[in-house]
Chains A and B, each alone.
Chain A
Amino acid sequence: AQSVTQLGSHVSVSEGALVLLRCNYSSSVPPYLFWYVQYPNQGLQLLLKYTSAATLVKGINGFEAEFKKSETSFHLTKPSAHMSDAAEYFCALMRSGAGSYQLTFGKGTKLSVIP
């Protein structure tokens, strides 16, 4: 089965500190992986995606993620946290079957930024 697991439902960092949000995947085929961000009472916005090109993927708002096949991981990082980064972050994997595609999400990690 194809799935993603996010480690840590809540992460707190100080403003200016490194942000590290962890995601591991399980897939029998080369995975297509995504990170989305959700602000309170809103929909989701795409931060970045991995589609089997470069293993280090850069996204919006200074975020990046590195695909590591040997560790089945796709962790999200940002060198310096801003107050505006406080939100919930979701790792996701694109499943396919019978000619259709569906995105499977992890349970999310809520990021708090302490001033």
Chain B
Amino acid sequence: DGGITQSPKYLFRKEGQNVTLSCEQNLNHDAMYWYRQDPGQGLRLIYYSQIVNDFQKGDIAEGYSVSREKKESFPLTVTSAQKNPTAFYLCASMPGQNRNEKLFFGSGTQLSVL
């Protein structure tokens, strides 16, 4: 089945540690996105990528980094510079060609600080 796979489902970070969240899609979509979800805050855009080897900062990129070396993969690293990393992280993808297309979402990773 085609879809988006996020792993792990739960992740714990120690102080000063970088952690990487995985996002893989087999939908052959060009565009991929990372969102952060906090209770009562909705979803906020961290980074997005329209094509391989290119990505742009979203609204809350500080303390995060990404790469897009392959079309199907868009990992997110939460660095030690992100002082409040506890949140639910959602990866999404879209074919990327038209404004009326829907986003397909993964099932999310819950990141907590030890």
Contact = CB atoms under 8 A, between A and B. Distances in A.
Interface string B12-56: 000000000000000000010101000011111100101000001
B50 A100 contact: yes
Given A107-B41, A107-B42, A102 B99 contact: no
Given A44-B90, A108-B42, A101 B31 contact: yes
* Chain A binding surface SS class: strand
Contacts, number: 66
Interface residues of A, number: 26
Interface in A53-104: 90, 94, 96, 98-104
B100 A32 contact: yes
Interface of A: 6, 9, 32, 34, 41-46, 49, 51, 90, 94, 96, 98-108
Interface of B: 4, 31, 33, 35, 40-45, 48, 50, 56, 58, 88, 90, 92, 94, 96, 99-103, 105-108, 110
13 contacts: A41-B88, A41-B107, A41-B110, A44-B43, A44-B105, A45-B105, A94-B99, A96-B99, A100-B48, A100-B56, A100-B96, A101-B101, A105-B43
